[in-house]
Structure 1
Amino acid sequence: MLPYGRQEVTEEDIAAVVRVLKSDFLTQGPEVPHFEKAVAERCGARHAVATNSGTAALHVACLALGLGPGDILWTTPITFVASANCGLYCGAEVDFVDIDPVTRNISPDAFAEKLQTAEKAGRLPKVLVVVHFAGRSAEMREIAALAKAHGIRIIEDAAHALGGAYEGRPIGCCAWSDITTFSFHPVKIITSAEGGMALTNDAELAERMRLYRTHGITRDAAKLMHDDAPWYYEQQALGMNYRMPDVLAALGRSQLGRLTRYVDARARLAARYDQALADLPLRLPLKDDATHRSAWHLYVVELDDAQGAPSRRSVFEKMRASGIGVQVHYIPVHLQPHYRRLGFGPGLFPAAESYYERAMSLPLFPTMTDADQDQVIDALRGILG
């Protein structure tokens, strides 16, 4: 089965991991700060805080922004559940903003309309989690202006978007947000096996996130409240064990050196799909332009029933039977059973639900060969042509 995503682990990566395995530090050693510094420099941010998953990065970001009971977090329905769950972890309420059917990201118009209603009801969110779906940045300038006018803090969930750019600046620079988070899961742009990172330009937010990722414990003598003994440490907040081990940071830092090559390879394959599928009854993703450079984590098509395309399920099953590991990203979060129990259900976010009925992700990864891609194209043309 040709998968929709696949990591590449090179001999260089293996050597980097082995060096750490032979060193004195497997967990809290020098490799994590080296990785943090490298990612921050690559993205143009001042501070980076590594975690053991992208979900953990979202959680500590919410905690650092003071999200808690009585607060509200908004995000998009078209994302992995972690983008919403991070609010629930903090005891906050969660709600959603519908997508733009063309960009598949949060719609600025829907955001503006929902803000008006929420302001009248006294239910403005404290935090907005903006997801850069499939690697393409949302319209951050417009969204950030709306959020700032209402005192809303922004987290960019850039799990799909490391290596992408918006308005000529790297995604992760935090020019339009308080915090940006990344994921290093194996199918993402680079991998540390599991891992995540939160970037910010605010030193205080970075300090809070470091505290929350390490049990809420500090050994910093300047911050200790009750003793100064050389063995002394303090738990100053209720934190978690969200630390990234050195061995995983070594893998991530090694992979980061190939980030440009990986994104370029994904962009080339996406352009090849664009050309090969243009005449089929499909809605293709937006191309890169002067404002947006996608990291192309996913290549998502939508079956166009208005042009006679068969049902998504039929195409999905036939592609899988042909050995093509297509996937669907994502089931709208508000339709998940847990969120239905919170009062959500069908009909609330029509653009997201319409997208979901037709969406299918085609295989895309940097080591994919032209022959691999031709296999996908030929199978899809055989079904739709």
Structure 2
Amino acid sequence: MSFLVSLLVLSALIFFHELGHYFAARAMGVYIEVFSIGFGQKIVSFRKWGTEWRIALIPLGGYVKMKGQDDADPTKKSYDKDSYNVKTPAQKIFILLAGPLANFVLAFFLYLFIAFGGPNILSPVIGQVVKDSPAFVAGLETNDTIRSINSIEISTWEEMAKIIESSEGALDIEIVRNGYMQQISLMPKTTQTTNMFNEVIEKKMIGIGSAGVTHKLELGAEETLSYAIDQTVHASTLIFTGLKKLIVGEVPAKELGGVISIVKLTSDASEAGWMSVLFFAALISVNLGVLNLLPIPALDGGHIMFNLYELIFKREVNERIMINLTIAGWVILFSLMGLGIYNDINRLIG
């Protein structure tokens, strides 16, 4: 059941991405020949609004085939009035951007739905206390709840961590222990740790771990909107940062995940509840939006790059160069997919 949920989530995200392209192309007067979820042999199909809608055998992507555009053979062009080829570079860029934009918009609404449902967030309840750490020396104990730091009220673990990390000097911490309030003072210590990208970094810490206690985040109307915007921006920034670190070598290539990781993590999320599925779906949706903006000729970003060239220099990219770059783009794309699957298999074996 969880595997089926994974495929449905992935297919839905691809559907919305391609739907963005579809509506933008139709708005620009481009005829859509095929709208496909998946690649390869078609399983089912029907014709509606002049377009063949199909589900194909390999559920690892999808595409909208516009009249006059063929990534498999860039030389195949049509110059009819309802063809993609006769549109201006600006119109083409609008069509190309609409897919990734649809993913960002979908992520926003998923986060909005999560906000309405009251997302679970870590409470500032202490679990492990590291021996000989500032917290250990000061007398903090497991199950202590941190209420405030330097008179700043604390309601989440994240708030507490940010205050400690940016602190200057000693901290006056108010805790609740067995129903009684206590005041504790301590000095944070700069310590080596690893971040979410498995990089070794240094930051101020006091030597505590979360007890894993959560509570629902109660949000008003304005806070709900802010939450959805902040989460969408945060996820986008996180993915852009991760990509940058992969490209410059700050994060090793073995950290790259593939479709197996996506399916497994979505499957795990489904077992944790629908709220977790929505969180992960929003993150994957942002991921799809970001990845499709990369300037790789086989992706939307590569086509945008070609059209920007035409817009600036008032001429199309040389056909031979475009064909070679498109082939190179497919090689890069399939290499990355292969590396991701290889890493996934290694993780499963490990």
Give TM-score scaled by structure 2 length: 0.26
Instruction: Please state which structure has a larger fraction of its residues in helix.
Output: 2
RCO (CA 8 Å, sep 6+): is it higher in 1 or 2?
1
Instruction: Indicate the structure with greater strand content.
Output: 2
User: Given the two structures, how large is their TM-score scaled by the length of structure 1?
Assistant: 0.24
